[in-house]
Amino acid sequence: MVKFTHRRKPHYKKCMYVGVSIFCCLIVLFLYKTIVHNQEMKQVSQQTAKNISVAYNKDRIKNVIKTDNKTRSDVERLSWKDFISFQGSKEEMNIASNSVGIIEIPSIALSLPVIEGTNNSNLKVGATTFREYQSLTDGNYVLLGHNMGQSGVLFSDVPKLKKGDKIYIYQKTDKGQKKITYSVKSIEEVNKNQTTVLENTDIRKLTLITCSTERTTSKRIIVTANPI
């Protein structure tokens, strides 16, 4: 005698409810992350504006602690979490107040303090000089900055520069701000071991250096500009 086994019907409704619930959770998580990111970007924008305001101020803020201007070889990759946690800190404002000038690039809406000396803290605030006591009046003026992969943050938009774009450096002097204008001559990607771009030269020029991507990489974007 043949026996027939009864098969349970799949619970389509239950599966559908679970699927919809998971989908809704993913949507909520996405919206939450978007809101948090937008708030962080607003915070960065506001803090950068404050840093620029401080850097433009000819008179140094009282009780400012002189920062370590020496370029260090142990510069670490900056995470977004560490960058955000640094925003608005006393150390950040102190570094901005010690700036030696401002760099502005209208084509990519960049405006940052120029900080003397490359180290982990200075790179969280703006563009940093490679050599201590670099001069804008002669030689190769090298500035470094982090590519955070976020438009409008530090040197993230530098790879978008094009030949002929204008770069303005406002240098602090006893009489106020001295403006020097540069025009982008070349943009190239090189290996990080190609250190010749850092060397001083007899010819006046400006060199901007950043990573090619926000991730750990051995490639660097080198922007060279001539004074005009």
Three-state DSSP class for residue 12? helix
Give the pLDDT of residue 173: 77
User: How many beta carbons lie within 10 A of that of residue 117, not counting itself?
Assistant: 23
Q: What is the pLDDT of residue 62?
A: 41
pTM higher than 0.75: yes
Cβ count within 10 A of residue 4: 5
How many angstroms separate the Cα of 225 from the Cα of each of 30, 47, 164, 165, 184? 41, 28, 9, 9, 4
**Helices assigned H by DSSP within the chain:** 12-56, 80-86, 90-97
pLDDT, position 9: 55
Q: Where are the domains of the chain?
A: 12-227
Q: To 10 degrees, what angle do helices 12-56 and 90-97 make?
A: 40
pLDDT confidence of residue 21: 83
CA nearest neighbour of 153 among 42, 50, 67, 77:
42
Q: What are the catalytic residues?
A: 146, 211
DSSP secondary structure letter of residue 147: B
Amino acid identity of residue 5, one-letter, is: T
Class of domain 12-227: mainly beta
pLDDT at 218: 87
Backbone angles phi, psi at 106, to 5 degrees: -60, -35
pLDDT in tens, the chain (228 residues): 555 555 555 566 777 778 888 888 888 878 777 776 677 777 777 777 777 776 666 554 444 444 444 455 568 889 999 999 999 899 998 999 889 999 999 999 999 999 999 999 999 999 999 987 788 888 999 999 999 999 999 999 999 999 999 999 998 777 778 899 999 999 999 998 888 999 998 899 999 999 999 887 889 999 999 999
